[in-house]
Structure 1
């Protein structure tokens, strides 16, 4: 609910403070007194786009502050939380317009953007009038209005959940199809590469092992010839044979040498033993250096094959086994892809059936509610002197989406046999006002959280019709807050609070003010609205009759 509005230096308002109340609040005044300025100021603080020049002439800046009460659960609280602003029971909107055109907005004294103000305004205020393009005249909002009338929240929640599930199933299906198509594009490569890797079957660490073995065999080939020469030099045909001959010769001469050969022969015996050990070691080394040339060729061939595959696939030799496993997985995706697609297709079909059922239930609820709304509108249009007009809620097939697959449009025919069409194209100004009022009365469920503003919605009507308009505005204001800018005394008489907008000229300065009316002042204001400039006792009596009625 709008609790107060404070305006400083805006257009022809120098300073103005208004305290509003629940129920029907009416503002009256002569044409040009500044009633529209109040709406301009309220629209400014709510972030609406309006006049470019708002600052009062000679002022450095203009400022508007609006205070709203926010009960628990009010939709504005969610907007505040999304904007990073802490919700409170009192919401203070303030917006400053500098003389150079710069605008600054605050929410509860925290600076914010015009977008946040506009998002808040959608939850705080509804403006209705002959040029209303934010509410009932906007066909894009008709489905939401019908859903509110029909109380379809549970059905819409089920439809949104079914749509989300269907969208997720379709996304998985599309991803699987894309993956399968991409995999099939490289199927020949995958099968060839896997066959090649499986045939070679490289093992982790094998490349290093083969390289070490190959180097060892290559080294053995280079030194084995020298080792073999050493074996021959130390063997029977070499040193060992000569030492045996020397031992035999000295042994035959030892008896005649009177012991002179004993020491040399002992040394020769020791040398023979050492020589035998050396010869045995060299022979063992020769045996160790022995290899099969075919084995070297096979090792080199496998080592080169492993390194070639690693280069071909751009991986390390030790990673070839893992790489082969990855290729096998991609192949298995192809081999099992068709079966996976069949399973996903079944999921899509199940999700589609669930969405169809939820959307059909929502469509049925909307069609049933559209009939009730049309009947309710017919009941409201009669007292508004539009009993010959026909209001119809059309529910037609539309594009499927999270809110169902229905298109909703409000159409009217002002006379029997006349073609039906959109509200803003068929109805005249006065008719349009009454259509909007009747529709708002029918759709008023839950409107107590929103301040409804009707800007001269009674224009073009008078007498009993204006009285009917006033009665419906008063009924709409029960348990809610309604602000009405009106020239109709029949409407003004139904207000719970009444303000008169006045324009004064002091010197060459024009200012506008708003005055709350006492009961006697209210009689005079209604008499002025009835009789014009010359207020007579008869006009006052008529005004009292309106207030009593």
Structure 2
């Protein structure tokens, strides 16, 4: 519910503060007084396109603040949470505009985007004028209005889910057909590439590992000769031979030397042991670095094969395993052929059947709701002096889509025997207003949290018809908060709360003023609406009579 609207320095309004209440709120005033400015300012703070945004001449900034009360579970809180904004039992929207057109907006004291304001607006306010092209006149909106009346969200959700499943099945079939066609065009290439890659069977990370092993093996070739020379120098033809000869000579004289050469023999023995250990170490190292016979050749052959295939297919060596799987998959698709397409065709057929069943159930819900809506509309049209008019909701077969396969259209016949047709072609302006009002009364229980705004919906009607419109607006106000801009005294008299919009001129400057009216002021305002510039006692008496109901 809209609780308050505060306006500062917008268009002709220097300052205005309106405290709205539940029920029927009416705004009256002479033509050109500025009633539309109020709606423009409300539209400005709600982010509506083409609404407001003009700073009062001479002011440094214009500002509009709107305060809403949000009951538990109000959908506006979902919008706030999705935008990362504070939610709760109240919502305060503020929007400013500078003379150069720069706009800024806040929701609960946090910066908000225009898109967020518009999303909030859809949950807070519904504006209707005599030319309600969003609803009655636009047949594309009739189905949504009927669905709102039917209140069967489960049936609608089932159709949307079935449509999504069908779309996914159709996309999968189309993709499979595209893959099969592409693979068939290149079957020889795909088969050869799959066999070539399958035979090589490259593995992730294999190329850098092979390159490292190749460098190690080639380095081993360069040091192998030096290692061989080292082994020769340590062996019998090298250091070991002379030491053994020396040991034999010393052993031959050891007995006669009476122990004098024993230390020398021990030293030579230790030297021979160390030389043997050194030889064993060099031999092991030579065996390790040399690798197996032919290993270098095998490593280089595989490394060059991997790099050659990578160049051939213009991918990195590490991408070859994924490429091999891709070619293998394409080859499998070719091998499966029509069998695979047959399974996907069956999936599409099943999805079509599921969608058709869900759409049929939703269509039945809509046709039942259409009859109830037509009955409800007939009951509402009678007090609006349209008792001879016939409102009919047509539900026909239409193009399948995410919201079903029904085409919904509201038609009317305003006189007995007259042909029915679209509202905008059959109904006059005054009749159209009443049809809209009747429809909103029928739907009001399904949107209790919206503030309904009617902008001169009573234009073109008067007398008893205007009184009937006022009574229906009053009834609508018992279900939802209603704000009406009106020139009709019969409608104004039915309001629970009344504001007058007028203009003043001081020192050549025009200002729009807005005043909440008490009982005495309401009598004067309604008398003015009845009599014009000269208010008579008869007009005041008539105004009192209207207010008395």
Give unpaired runs (5+ residues) of structure 2. 219-293
SS in 1 for 2:461: coil
How far off its partner does 1:517 sit?
1.6
Which residue number in structure 1 is paired with residue 42 of structure 2?
A: 42
SS in 2 for 1:86: coil
Which residue number in structure 1 is paired with residue 256 of structure 2?
A: none
Which residue number in structure 2 is paired with residue 479 of structure 1?
A: 479
Q: Contact (CA 8 Å) 1:310, 1:320: kept in 2 or not?
A: no
**Is structure 2 residue 160 aligned with structure 1 residue 160?**
yes
* Root-mean-square deviation over aligned CA pairs: 3.6
How far off its partner does 1:91 sit?
1.1
Cα displacement string for residues 102-145 of structure 1 (whole angstroms, at most 9, x for unaligned residues): 22222222222222222221211111111333444333322111
Which shifted more, 16-25 or 73-82? 73-82
Which residue number in structure 1 is paired with residue 535 of structure 2?
A: 535
Which residue number in structure 1 is paired with residue 308 of structure 2?
A: 311
Which residue number in structure 1 is paired with residue 508 of structure 2?
A: 508
SS in 2 for 1:435: helix
Q: How many residues were matched structurally?
A: 468
Q: Contact (CA 8 Å) 1:396, 1:408: kept in 2 or not?
A: yes
Which residue number in structure 1 is paired with residue 103 of structure 2?
A: 103
**Is structure 2 residue 430 aligned with structure 1 residue 430?**
yes
Q: Contact (CA 8 Å) 1:202, 1:306: kept in 2 or not?
A: no
Which shifted more, 421-430 or 70-79? 421-430
How far off its partner does 1:155 sit?
0.2
Counterparts of 1:370-519 in structure 2, within 5 Å, are 370-519=370-519
SS in 1 for 2:379: helix
CA distance 1:510–1:342, shift in 2 (3 Å): same
Which residue number in structure 1 is paired with residue 260 of structure 2?
A: none
Query: 2:493 & 2:8 partners in 1: Cα distance?
Result: 30
**Is structure 2 residue 520 aligned with structure 1 residue 520?**
yes
Which residue number in structure 1 is paired with residue 114 of structure 2?
A: 114
SS in 2 for 1:48: coil
CA distance 1:461–1:321, shift in 2 (3 Å): closer
Query: 2:104 & 2:363 partners in 1: Cα distance?
Result: 45
CA distance 1:182–1:487, shift in 2 (3 Å): same
CA distance 1:181–1:458, shift in 2 (3 Å): same
Query: 2:477 & 2:7 partners in 1: Cα distance?
Result: 25
Give unpaired runs (5+ residues) of structure 1. 216-295
CA distance 1:380–1:313, shift in 2 (3 Å): same
CA distance 1:134–1:62, shift in 2 (3 Å): farther
Q: Contact (CA 8 Å) 1:127, 1:135: kept in 2 or not?
A: no
Counterparts of 1:538-549 in structure 2, within 5 Å, are 538-549=538-549
How far off its partner does 1:450 sit?
0.6
CA distance 1:527–1:176, shift in 2 (3 Å): same
Query: 2:516 & 2:317 partners in 1: Cα distance?
Result: 92
SS in 2 for 1:522: helix
How far off its partner does 1:51 sit?
5.9
Q: Contact (CA 8 Å) 2:370, 2:394: kept in 1 or not?
A: yes
Query: 1:317 & 1:165 partners in 2: Cα distance?
Result: 39
CA distance 1:490–1:314, shift in 2 (3 Å): same
SS in 2 for 1:398: strand
Which residue number in structure 2 is paired with residue 70 of structure 1?
A: 70
Query: 1:108 & 1:199 partners in 2: Cα distance?
Result: 67
Which shifted more, 334-343 or 438-447? 334-343
CA distance 1:306–1:491, shift in 2 (3 Å): closer
Which one has a bigger Cα radius of gyration?
Answer: 1
Which shifted more, 132-141 or 119-128? 132-141
CA distance 1:183–1:513, shift in 2 (3 Å): same
How far off its partner does 1:518 sit?
1.6
Query: 1:540 & 1:418 partners in 2: Cα distance?
Result: 42
Which residue number in structure 1 is paired with residue 288 of structure 2?
A: none
SS in 2 for 1:503: strand
Which shifted more, 377-386 or 321-330? 321-330
Q: Contact (CA 8 Å) 1:127, 1:134: kept in 2 or not?
A: no
Counterparts of 1:145-184 in structure 2, within 5 Å, are 145-184=145-184
CA distance 1:469–1:337, shift in 2 (3 Å): same
Which residue number in structure 2 is paired with residue 28 of structure 1?
A: 28
How far off its partner does 1:327 sit?
4.6
CA distance 1:135–1:47, shift in 2 (3 Å): farther
Cα displacement string for residues 351-410 of structure 1 (whole angstroms, at most 9, x for unaligned residues): 111110000111111122222222222222222222333322222322222211122222
How far off its partner does 1:7 sit?
0.7
Q: Contact (CA 8 Å) 2:444, 2:479: kept in 1 or not?
A: no
How far off its partner does 1:332 sit?
2.6
> TM-score, structure 1 length as denominator?
0.76
Query: 2:201 & 2:512 partners in 1: Cα distance?
Result: 94
Counterparts of 1:323-334 in structure 2, within 5 Å, are 327-334=327-334
Q: Contact (CA 8 Å) 1:306, 1:317: kept in 2 or not?
A: no
Which shifted more, 334-343 or 511-520? 334-343
Q: Contact (CA 8 Å) 2:86, 2:108: kept in 1 or not?
A: no
Query: 2:159 & 2:172 partners in 1: Cα distance?
Result: 20
Which shifted more, 531-540 or 507-516? 531-540
Cα displacement string for residues 447-475 of structure 1 (whole angstroms, at most 9, x for unaligned residues): 22110111111122122111111111011
How far off its partner does 1:336 sit?
2.4
Which residue number in structure 2 is paired with residue 19 of structure 1?
A: 19
